[in-house]
């Protein structure tokens, strides 16, 4: 039996793992692929304290992983299929085994929201992308469109301007949601072109993307935009399907916790992007991971004579 299982190896899970392993809890971190999470798709992180010059998402998470492993955290690549959670007993069923744990931290993160329009699925990986860091260099000297108006869309659009000949930012309103500093960077980038009050209705192409059919929401006018790449950054959906029907979720599916990261079930915690909250950042994820691990340790102290 494990003292603690952590599901998810992004900044929240790795920080929880660091704290728990350092507190000498028998801790296992389960990650579906390789540790890292969404931060791996972020080119450059410049608002995580301690790195005045900024740091690449890859380097940051690699350092977190090595630091946690130094204190004895065990990380295994296994996909969790199912959970059985009660105050008394917590069972984790992975694709290869069944593990009982005394406490659990869910740090399974979030995944990019899809547009849900014709051509999106067909051309995913063939011109439609949700990761500029991964796919930007494929679009050297080509025109690309970015959908969305939040921090991610605008920041990634500026990044794509390094490679692309033109970057069209298609936003459904006439005002960006992104913070001012990021907006200013985009406005001063000569390759950026803003298309306001407009949604994408169809992605068209043959073996790859050839263009985007757009609709102006104010005038109703339809327009075809020839582009070779379409990058979608319209928010994220939580990876919370494992606990649907087991734990209370908010209206968007994020896991509800108290201020100590504990869910309705004693000994079950959530941290990072999968948790219901206002701000999803590496800085908030690591704080929540640390708190969840500390509260898990206190939970184990409390129940040690009963489990």
Binding site for ligand NAP (CB under 6 A): 47, 115, 147-153, 155, 172-173, 177, 199, 233-236, 279-280
Closer Cβ to ligand NAP, 233 or 299, answer by number: 233
Residue 1 or 279: which CB sits closer to ligand NAP?
279
Q: How far apart are CA 114 and CA 139, in angstroms?
A: 21
| Residue 3 Cβ vs ligand NAP, minimum distance, rounded to whole Å | 32
Provide the CB-side half-sphere exposure for 5 (13 A, CA).
26
26 alpha carbon, distance to own chain's centre: 27
CB of 189 to ligand NAP, least distance (A): 16
Q: Which residue is nearest to ligand NAP (CB)?
A: 150
Q: Do the beta carbons of residue 134 and residue 159 sit within 8 Å?
A: no
CB of 62 to ligand NAP, least distance (A): 20
Q: What is the nearest approach in angstroms of ligand NAP to the Cβ of residue 148?
A: 4
Query: How distant, in Å, are the alpha carbons of 146, 184, 220 from that of 180?
Result: 18, 6, 29
Shortest spacing between CB 265 and ligand NAP, in angstroms = 27
* Enzyme catalytic residues: 131, 134-135
44-53 contact pairs (CB < 8 A, 24+): 44/159, 45/282, 47/281, 47/283, 48/282, 48/283, 49/283
- C-beta of 236 vs 299, nearer to ligand NAP: 236
Q: Looking at beta carbons only, is 155 or 228 nearer to ligand NAP?
A: 155
User: Would you call 263 helix, strand, or coil by DSSP?
Assistant: coil
Residue with Cβ nearer ligand NAP (197 or 264) = 197
How many CB atoms neighbour CB 212 within 10 A?
28
CA 61 – CA 194 distance, rounded (Å): 33
User: Least distance to ligand NAP from the beta carbon of 278, Å?
Assistant: 8
Place of tokens 């009963």: 306
43 versus 262: smaller Cβ distance to ligand NAP: 43
Residue number, 149 or 229, with CB nearest to ligand NAP: 149
DSSP string, 216-257: ETTT--EEEE--SEEEE-S-EEE--GGGBTTB-B-TTSPBP-
The answer to whether 264 and 162 are in contact (CB under 8 A) is: no
* Shortest CB 130 distance to ligand NAP, Å: 10
Contact 205, 182 (CB under 8 A): no
CA count, 13 A, side-chain hemisphere, 228: 14
- Cα separation, 162 vs 175, whole angstroms: 24
């Amino acid at each position: 039996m494990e003292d603690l299982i952590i599901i998810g190896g992004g900044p929240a899970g790795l920080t929880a793992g660091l704290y728990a392993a350092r507190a000498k809890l028998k801790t296992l971190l389960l990650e579906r692929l390789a540790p890292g999470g969404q931060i791996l798709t972020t080119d450059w992180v410049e608002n995580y304290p301690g790195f005045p010059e900024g740091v690449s998402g890859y380097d940051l998470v690699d350092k977190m992983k090595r630091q946690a492993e130094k204190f004895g955290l065990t990380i295994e690549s296994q996909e969790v299929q199912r959970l059985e959670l009660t105050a008394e007993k917590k069972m984790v069923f992975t694709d290869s085994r069944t593990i009982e744990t005394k406490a659990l931290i869910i740090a399974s993160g979030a995944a990019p929201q899809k547009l849900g329009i014709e051509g999106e699925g067909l051309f995913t990986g063939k011109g439609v992308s949700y990761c500029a860091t991964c796919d930007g260099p494929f679009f050297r000297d080509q025109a690309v469109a970015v959908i969305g108006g939040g921090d991610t869309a605008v920041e990634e659009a500026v990044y794509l301007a390094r490679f692309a000949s033109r970057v069209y930012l298609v936003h459904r309103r006439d005002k960006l949601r992104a913070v001012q500093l990021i907006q200013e960077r985009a406005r001063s980038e000569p390759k950026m072109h803003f298309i306001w009050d407009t949604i994408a209705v169809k992605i068209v192409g043959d073996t790859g993307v050839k263009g985007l059919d757009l609709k102006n929401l104010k005038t109703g006018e339809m327009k075809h935009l020839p582009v070779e790449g379409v990058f979608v950054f319209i928010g994220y959906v939580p990876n919370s399907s494992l606990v649907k029907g087991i734990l209370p979720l908010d209206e968007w599916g994020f896991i509800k916790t108290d201020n100590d990261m504990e869910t309705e079930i004693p000994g079950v915690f959530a941290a990072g992007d999968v948790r219901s909250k206002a701000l999803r950042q590496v800085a908030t994820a690591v704080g929540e991971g640390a708190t969840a691990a500390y509260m898990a340790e206190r939970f184990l102290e409390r129940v040690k004579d009963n489990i």
